[in-house]
Amino acid sequence: MLNLVIFGPPGSGKGTQATHIKEKYGLLHLSTGEMLRHEIASKTALGLEVENLVANGQLVPDELVTEVLKKALAEKMSQGNGFIFDGFPRNGDQAQILEDALNSLNLEINVAINLTVSDPELIKRILLRGETSGRADDNEIVIKERLEIYRKNADKLIKFYQKLDKLYEVNGEGSPQEVFERITKLIAKHL
Ligand code: B4P
Protein backbone atom coordinates (compact mmCIF):
# COMPACT_ATOMS: atom_id res chain seq x y z
CA MET A 1 0.00 0.00 0.00
CA LEU A 2 1.17 3.49 -0.84
CA ASN A 3 -0.24 6.31 1.28
CA LEU A 4 0.61 9.88 0.42
CA VAL A 5 -0.15 13.28 1.87
CA ILE A 6 -0.01 16.35 -0.36
CA PHE A 7 -0.09 19.77 1.21
CA GLY A 8 0.81 23.33 0.31
CA PRO A 9 -0.79 26.78 0.24
CA PRO A 10 -4.23 27.31 -1.31
CA GLY A 11 -3.91 27.19 -5.08
CA SER A 12 -0.58 25.33 -5.02
CA GLY A 13 -2.13 22.60 -7.16
CA LYS A 14 -2.79 19.92 -4.54
CA GLY A 15 -6.07 18.90 -6.19
CA THR A 16 -4.59 19.01 -9.69
CA GLN A 17 -1.61 16.82 -8.78
CA ALA A 18 -3.62 14.48 -6.55
CA THR A 19 -5.87 13.68 -9.52
CA HIS A 20 -2.85 12.69 -11.67
CA ILE A 21 -1.27 10.69 -8.82
CA LYS A 22 -4.50 8.84 -8.14
CA GLU A 23 -4.78 7.78 -11.79
CA LYS A 24 -1.16 6.68 -12.21
CA TYR A 25 -0.88 4.67 -8.98
CA GLY A 26 -4.49 3.50 -8.53
CA LEU A 27 -4.90 5.37 -5.26
CA LEU A 28 -8.06 6.69 -3.66
CA HIS A 29 -8.17 10.47 -3.64
CA LEU A 30 -9.51 11.98 -0.42
CA SER A 31 -9.90 15.77 -0.61
CA THR A 32 -11.34 17.33 2.53
CA GLY A 33 -12.02 20.53 0.56
CA GLU A 34 -14.12 18.60 -1.94
CA MET A 35 -15.89 16.61 0.77
CA LEU A 36 -16.79 19.85 2.56
CA ARG A 37 -18.02 21.48 -0.68
CA HIS A 38 -20.13 18.38 -1.28
CA GLU A 39 -21.65 18.59 2.21
CA ILE A 40 -22.40 22.30 1.59
CA ALA A 41 -23.99 21.66 -1.82
CA SER A 42 -26.09 18.82 -0.35
CA LYS A 43 -27.20 21.12 2.51
CA THR A 44 -26.44 18.50 5.16
CA ALA A 45 -26.34 19.59 8.82
CA LEU A 46 -22.55 19.58 8.67
CA GLY A 47 -22.60 21.50 5.37
CA LEU A 48 -24.80 24.23 6.84
CA GLU A 49 -22.51 24.47 9.85
CA VAL A 50 -19.34 24.98 7.80
CA GLU A 51 -20.68 26.99 4.84
CA ASN A 52 -19.70 30.46 6.10
CA LEU A 53 -16.31 29.33 7.36
CA VAL A 54 -15.32 27.91 3.97
CA ALA A 55 -16.68 30.94 2.08
CA ASN A 56 -14.57 33.23 4.29
CA GLY A 57 -11.41 31.17 3.98
CA GLN A 58 -11.41 30.03 7.63
CA LEU A 59 -10.44 26.52 8.64
CA VAL A 60 -13.30 24.21 9.60
CA PRO A 61 -12.98 22.88 13.22
CA ASP A 62 -10.80 19.77 13.44
CA GLU A 63 -13.62 17.57 14.85
CA LEU A 64 -15.84 18.21 11.82
CA VAL A 65 -13.13 17.62 9.21
CA THR A 66 -12.09 14.50 11.10
CA GLU A 67 -15.67 13.28 10.98
CA VAL A 68 -15.89 13.56 7.16
CA LEU A 69 -12.44 12.07 6.74
CA LYS A 70 -13.08 9.03 8.95
CA LYS A 71 -16.37 8.38 7.17
CA ALA A 72 -14.57 8.35 3.80
CA LEU A 73 -11.70 6.19 5.13
CA ALA A 74 -14.09 3.55 6.44
CA GLU A 75 -16.10 3.52 3.19
CA LYS A 76 -13.12 3.31 0.83
CA MET A 77 -10.53 1.41 2.85
CA SER A 78 -10.64 -1.78 0.78
CA GLN A 79 -11.03 -0.23 -2.68
CA GLY A 80 -7.57 0.83 -3.90
CA ASN A 81 -3.79 0.49 -3.63
CA GLY A 82 -3.67 3.18 -0.96
CA PHE A 83 -4.70 6.79 -0.37
CA ILE A 84 -3.72 10.25 -1.46
CA PHE A 85 -4.77 12.76 1.17
CA ASP A 86 -5.28 16.20 -0.37
CA GLY A 87 -5.87 19.18 1.92
CA PHE A 88 -5.75 17.09 5.08
CA PRO A 89 -3.87 17.50 7.35
CA ARG A 90 -3.84 21.30 7.42
CA ASN A 91 -2.20 21.71 10.86
CA GLY A 92 -0.17 19.76 13.41
CA ASP A 93 -3.22 18.49 15.30
CA GLN A 94 -4.81 17.14 12.12
CA ALA A 95 -1.51 15.45 11.22
CA GLN A 96 -1.62 13.60 14.56
CA ILE A 97 -5.31 12.70 14.03
CA LEU A 98 -4.49 11.24 10.60
CA GLU A 99 -1.48 9.35 11.95
CA ASP A 100 -3.60 7.79 14.74
CA ALA A 101 -6.50 6.96 12.38
CA LEU A 102 -4.14 5.22 9.95
CA ASN A 103 -2.20 3.42 12.66
CA SER A 104 -5.44 2.02 14.06
CA LEU A 105 -5.97 0.45 10.63
CA ASN A 106 -2.35 -0.77 10.49
CA LEU A 107 -1.53 1.78 7.81
CA GLU A 108 1.00 4.62 7.61
CA ILE A 109 1.94 7.61 5.46
CA ASN A 110 4.89 6.78 3.20
CA VAL A 111 5.56 10.21 1.70
CA ALA A 112 4.39 13.74 2.63
CA ILE A 113 4.71 16.17 -0.29
CA ASN A 114 4.99 19.88 0.44
CA LEU A 115 4.19 21.80 -2.78
CA THR A 116 5.85 25.22 -2.81
CA VAL A 117 4.61 28.15 -4.95
CA SER A 118 5.22 31.92 -4.63
CA ASP A 119 2.37 34.16 -3.39
CA PRO A 120 1.90 36.17 -6.63
CA GLU A 121 1.59 32.93 -8.63
CA LEU A 122 -0.91 31.52 -6.09
CA ILE A 123 -3.09 34.62 -6.26
CA LYS A 124 -2.99 34.57 -10.07
CA ARG A 125 -4.04 30.90 -10.19
CA ILE A 126 -6.89 31.24 -7.70
CA LEU A 127 -8.34 34.35 -9.37
CA LEU A 128 -8.27 32.47 -12.67
CA ARG A 129 -9.95 29.44 -11.10
CA GLY A 130 -12.57 31.77 -9.55
CA GLU A 131 -13.63 32.90 -13.03
CA THR A 132 -14.84 29.41 -13.85
CA SER A 133 -15.34 27.51 -10.56
CA GLY A 134 -18.01 29.67 -8.95
CA ARG A 135 -16.28 28.91 -5.63
CA ALA A 136 -17.27 31.46 -3.01
CA ASP A 137 -13.71 31.46 -1.58
CA ASP A 138 -11.91 32.31 -4.84
CA ASN A 139 -11.61 36.09 -4.55
CA GLU A 140 -8.69 38.32 -3.60
CA ILE A 141 -9.74 39.26 -0.06
CA VAL A 142 -10.47 35.65 0.91
CA ILE A 143 -7.30 34.37 -0.79
CA LYS A 144 -5.11 36.65 1.34
CA GLU A 145 -6.91 35.46 4.48
CA ARG A 146 -6.45 31.81 3.44
CA LEU A 147 -2.75 32.36 2.72
CA GLU A 148 -2.25 33.91 6.14
CA ILE A 149 -4.05 31.03 7.86
CA TYR A 150 -1.97 28.56 5.86
CA ARG A 151 1.33 30.19 6.92
CA LYS A 152 0.25 30.19 10.57
CA ASN A 153 -0.32 26.42 10.51
CA ALA A 154 2.26 25.19 7.99
CA ASP A 155 5.22 25.29 10.33
CA LYS A 156 3.90 22.62 12.70
CA LEU A 157 2.75 20.49 9.81
CA ILE A 158 6.19 20.60 8.17
CA LYS A 159 7.90 19.80 11.47
CA PHE A 160 5.54 16.88 12.10
CA TYR A 161 6.56 15.09 8.89
CA GLN A 162 10.19 16.19 9.17
CA LYS A 163 10.37 14.44 12.53
CA LEU A 164 9.02 11.24 10.96
CA ASP A 165 11.57 11.67 8.14
CA LYS A 166 8.79 11.65 5.55
CA LEU A 167 8.78 15.24 4.34
CA TYR A 168 9.69 16.06 0.72
CA GLU A 169 9.51 19.54 -0.75
CA VAL A 170 8.47 19.74 -4.41
CA ASN A 171 8.60 22.90 -6.51
CA GLY A 172 4.97 23.50 -7.57
CA GLU A 173 5.79 26.08 -10.26
CA GLY A 174 5.95 25.26 -13.95
CA SER A 175 3.31 23.40 -15.95
CA PRO A 176 1.13 20.80 -14.18
CA GLN A 177 2.95 18.14 -16.23
CA GLU A 178 6.38 19.37 -15.10
CA VAL A 179 5.27 19.35 -11.47
CA PHE A 180 3.82 15.86 -11.90
CA GLU A 181 7.14 14.57 -13.30
CA ARG A 182 8.95 15.88 -10.20
CA ILE A 183 6.43 14.05 -8.01
CA THR A 184 6.66 10.75 -9.91
CA LYS A 185 10.47 10.80 -9.59
CA LEU A 186 10.06 11.20 -5.86
CA ILE A 187 7.43 8.46 -5.53
CA ALA A 188 9.56 6.07 -7.62
CA LYS A 189 12.12 6.06 -4.79
CA HIS A 190 9.47 4.81 -2.35
CA LEU A 191 7.82 2.03 -4.33
P1 B4P B 1 -9.14 23.09 -0.83
O2 B4P B 1 -10.23 22.48 -1.59
O3 B4P B 1 -8.10 22.18 -0.28
O4 B4P B 1 -8.59 24.12 -1.91
P5 B4P B 1 -7.27 24.88 -2.35
O6 B4P B 1 -6.24 24.75 -1.27
O7 B4P B 1 -7.71 26.25 -2.72
O8 B4P B 1 -6.75 24.33 -3.73
P9 B4P B 1 -5.57 23.38 -4.33
O10 B4P B 1 -4.23 23.58 -3.69
O11 B4P B 1 -6.13 22.00 -4.35
O12 B4P B 1 -5.36 23.92 -5.79
P13 B4P B 1 -5.87 23.44 -7.25
O14 B4P B 1 -5.32 22.13 -7.65
O15 B4P B 1 -7.36 23.63 -7.31
O16 B4P B 1 -9.72 23.96 0.43
C17 B4P B 1 -10.84 24.82 0.39
C18 B4P B 1 -11.35 25.22 1.80
O19 B4P B 1 -11.91 24.07 2.50
C20 B4P B 1 -10.31 25.74 2.81
O21 B4P B 1 -10.05 27.12 2.64
C22 B4P B 1 -11.03 25.44 4.18
O23 B4P B 1 -12.03 26.38 4.45
C24 B4P B 1 -11.68 24.12 3.93
N25 B4P B 1 -10.83 22.95 4.33
C26 B4P B 1 -10.34 22.01 3.46
N27 B4P B 1 -9.62 21.08 4.13
C28 B4P B 1 -9.63 21.46 5.44
C29 B4P B 1 -9.03 20.92 6.60
N30 B4P B 1 -8.27 19.82 6.56
N31 B4P B 1 -9.24 21.55 7.79
C32 B4P B 1 -10.00 22.65 7.86
N33 B4P B 1 -10.60 23.23 6.79
C34 B4P B 1 -10.41 22.64 5.58
O35 B4P B 1 -5.15 24.52 -8.17
C36 B4P B 1 -5.52 25.87 -8.12
C37 B4P B 1 -5.68 26.44 -9.53
O38 B4P B 1 -4.42 26.50 -10.18
C39 B4P B 1 -6.58 25.58 -10.43
O40 B4P B 1 -7.38 26.43 -11.23
C41 B4P B 1 -5.60 24.80 -11.30
O42 B4P B 1 -6.12 24.52 -12.59
C43 B4P B 1 -4.42 25.76 -11.40
N44 B4P B 1 -3.15 25.07 -11.45
C45 B4P B 1 -2.79 23.93 -10.79
N46 B4P B 1 -1.51 23.61 -11.05
C47 B4P B 1 -1.02 24.61 -11.88
C48 B4P B 1 0.25 24.86 -12.51
N49 B4P B 1 1.29 24.02 -12.34
N50 B4P B 1 0.37 25.96 -13.27
C51 B4P B 1 -0.67 26.81 -13.45
N52 B4P B 1 -1.90 26.62 -12.91
C53 B4P B 1 -2.08 25.53 -12.12
- The per-residue pLDDT for range 66-92, each reduced to its tens digit, is 989 888 888 887 787 899 999 999 999
Residue of 60, 98, 148 to test ligand 1 pocket, by largest number of atoms within 8 Å of CB: 60
* Ranges under pLDDT 50 in the chain: none
47 alpha carbon – ligand 1 mean position (Å):
18
Please report the pLDDT score of residue 174 as a whole number. 97
Please report the pLDDT score of residue 104 as a whole number. 84
Please report the pLDDT score of residue 106 as a whole number. 87
CA 123 to chain centre: 18
- Picking from 32, 30, 29, the residue whose alpha carbon sits closest to that of residue 53 is 32
Q: Helix 62-76 crosses helix 92-103 at what angle (to 10 degrees)?
A: 30
